A and B are shown apart, each in its own frame.
Chain A
């Protein structure tokens, strides 16, 4: 079936490329046979496409290597391969990503934001591997995603977060985005957990502790983990630099899903 599907796709590609006239003039019969293949195999091919889709590993590699080769400071940043919905209503539940080739069959773990650690692999590159998705790829935007690294101990020096935001801004500008923007803060996001117990709910998620020892809890609201995401419904906390003293630290009661830079 795979072979027919390719033949059908090839025939359609040639026809769509605007050279139908040439095919007709030189090989009418061949064109008819190919057209029949298209008609016969198109539904099968379409059905197969519904179930899963692919992204060429080499193309993903070319996107992911930009961050690896970036020579300016980036110690507060992390890079992922990310799959995010194009539109609201596209569910991330059950979304699975794997790396497949002749020699490799590896499942890649996606976090709640659709991010996976990208496997840089010469074997996968040489095999011309594919990243297999169990949904239509056109529903999602895929590619490199850089964010601010989280810490296991939950303690973030205010100065480090400012530096992290500046590193993020510099990287985005290097890749051609965020022109004319400045860092105004960072945003922590947490999974909304319906099972949280009352006691836990009363505990502040994120607290700012000034150098003098005073502490204040930051306000929690609901929204997307990254400002431009359509996927929403996370508990998000914005730490705007101007609203707090320059020196101090933020203490998070749990490891956030992500930390985004706020650029305006």
Chain B
């Protein structure tokens, strides 16, 4: 009944954990390995470049899953239509000296963040996705809520899914990412509060060439909330990111 493809939003810019079900025989795994061209996830002050990135997603029957996007987690639900469990997510380190735009900003430690995910299926083609993380660098919370819907296609070898969602961050997280101090060399003082960080809309397309080979492509549009967009470190309020790659299913 579940028509959402397991290799979902692997490379979309949002860091939402996309867990697959552990609906498989005991001791089995479902693994995708490949390479993709992708625009780098755009955060404050980063350059947008096309990079060659690994594609990896593994799901084991014991509920553990990892992906190359830096997310690992554990499925605790044994009920179809319901997914929840703990999550670990890698985060990128950043220094004020990394780029001229980041002058006066706070350093960001690249420590793993811990959290949890909760996904709920509204029928076989739509699911609500959510996660909540404790940011170990900023010592604050950040979360995501979104909806993913699979679109019905005649050709069973193609699958399309649209996704819309919103990221929220508490004051410590927003300040670590977006605050600027003139005294520390920034263009002006800026100190945001906890708020909506961004909203995003994405489209994913999977083309199964055979039962082993798969072309995975995704495009997403992101618009930053006021708290982020008003920061001197942010170059653009809205941006697009995309990825496309080839994976082998083991």
Chain A interface residues (CB < 8 Å from chain B): 6, 9-10, 13-14, 16-19, 22, 54-59, 61-63, 65-66, 69-71, 86, 120-122, 125-126, 128-130, 137-138, 142-144, 174-177
Contacts and interface: CB of A to CB of B under 8 A. Distances in A.
Interface stretch (B19-27, B91-99, B185-193, B231-239): B19-27
Given A70-B80, A175-B123, A177-B123, A10 B213 contact: yes
21 contacts: A9-B209, A9-B213, A10-B209, A10-B213, A14-B244, A17-B205, A17-B215, A22-B50, A54-B210, A56-B208, A56-B211, A58-B30, A59-B5, A59-B6, A63-B1, A63-B3, A66-B2, A120-B25, A121-B25, A122-B25, A176-B126
Interface residues on B, range: 35 or more
A129 B212 CA distance: 9
Contacts of A9: 209, 213
B121 A18 contact: no
A17 B210 CA distance: 17
Contacts of A137: 155-157
B244 A128 contact: no
Interface string B207-238: 11111110101010000000000000000000
A125 B25 contact: yes
A121 B27 CA distance: 12
- Determine the main DSSP class of B at the interface with A: loop
Contact of A13 (B21, B78, B126, B246): B246
Contacts of B210: 6, 54
Interface of B: 1-3, 5-6, 21, 23-28, 30, 37, 50, 78-81, 121-126, 154-157, 205, 207-213, 215, 217, 219, 242, 244, 246, 249-250
Contacts of B122: 176
Contact of B80 (A56, A61, A66): A66
In this complex, which of A17, A59, A128, A144 has the most chain B Cβ atoms within 10 angstroms of its Cβ? A17
B1 A128 contact: no
Contacts of B125: 176
Contacts of A58: 6, 24, 30, 211, 249
Nearest 5 pairs of A and B residues by beta carbon: A176-B123, A13-B215, A17-B244, A122-B25, A17-B217
Nearest to B246: A10
B209 A6 contact: yes
A57 B209 contact: no
B81 A174 contact: yes
Nearest to B26: A122
Contact of A61 (B24, B123, B244): B24
Contacts of B215: 10, 13-14, 17
Given A121-B25, A138-B154, A177-B124, 12 more contacts: A9-B213, A22-B37, A57-B211, A58-B6, A62-B23, A62-B24, A66-B1, A125-B24, A125-B28, A128-B211, A128-B212, A175-B124
